[in-house]
Amino acid sequence: MIRELQEEQEQWKIWPPYEVFYIESLLTKTKSAIGDYELLDKVITTPTLFEENPNILIDLSENIINQGAGISRYLFPARYKGTRNRIHKLRGEKLREFLHVGENSPLEHRFVRDYAEHFDEKLDIFLSKPIKGNFIPSRVVFDAQELDNVTFVFRAYVVNEFKFICLEKQICILPIIKEIYRIHNLLIGFINNGGRLQ
């Protein structure tokens, strides 16, 4: 009996009636990222909104990255030992297959997940070293060269480059959000098709 269940699991990877739960879970993340990107675009293109609160661009871009990291975990699950790894691996394989996510996807690259995972610990380690010079907690600039004279910026957003900077790491959000839009449209199609990956 157990062997038969394992063989069925290998065949289906995700039991068909349960596919909708993965679709809905991913839609929560894609909707959040897309909503924040659309607000980010609105703030950038509306001078009064930009002047009132430019730092909101930092928060919005950071959330897009965090949601991208969450989607990445569904598609490229962490490796565990034993049978626990098998079910996660099978789920990731099926989602990647139906969402057409390959090695060139920006969500496959570890930098997106690395940013989001264990951020608190990375901040501890980064701040354990002495910092000399100019220190800016947050800054929105139009061009990265505006940060050349700054020794350390905790978080920044570079408008003309669609770039988020934090702890000396730079992440361009445009490829990430394009991939999220693409996945989102497929997920909507799956929902309209009865909640199935087809």
For residue range 14-66, list pLDDT tens digits in order.
888 899 999 999 999 999 999 999 999 999 999 999 999 999 999 999 999 99
pTM confidence score:
0.89
What confidence score (pLDDT) does residue 88 get?
86
SS3 76: coil
Q: Which residues of 32-49 are buried (b: 16+ CB within 10 A; e: fewer)?
A: bbbebbebbeebbeeeee
Alpha-carbon distance 135 to 152, whole Å? 5
Look at the chain and count its residues: 198
> Which of 68-72, 127-131, 182-186 bottoms out in mean pLDDT, i.e. has the lowest?
127-131
User: How confident is the model over 111-159, as pLDDT tens digits?
Assistant: 788 888 888 888 898 889 887 778 889 999 999 888 887 778 899 999 9
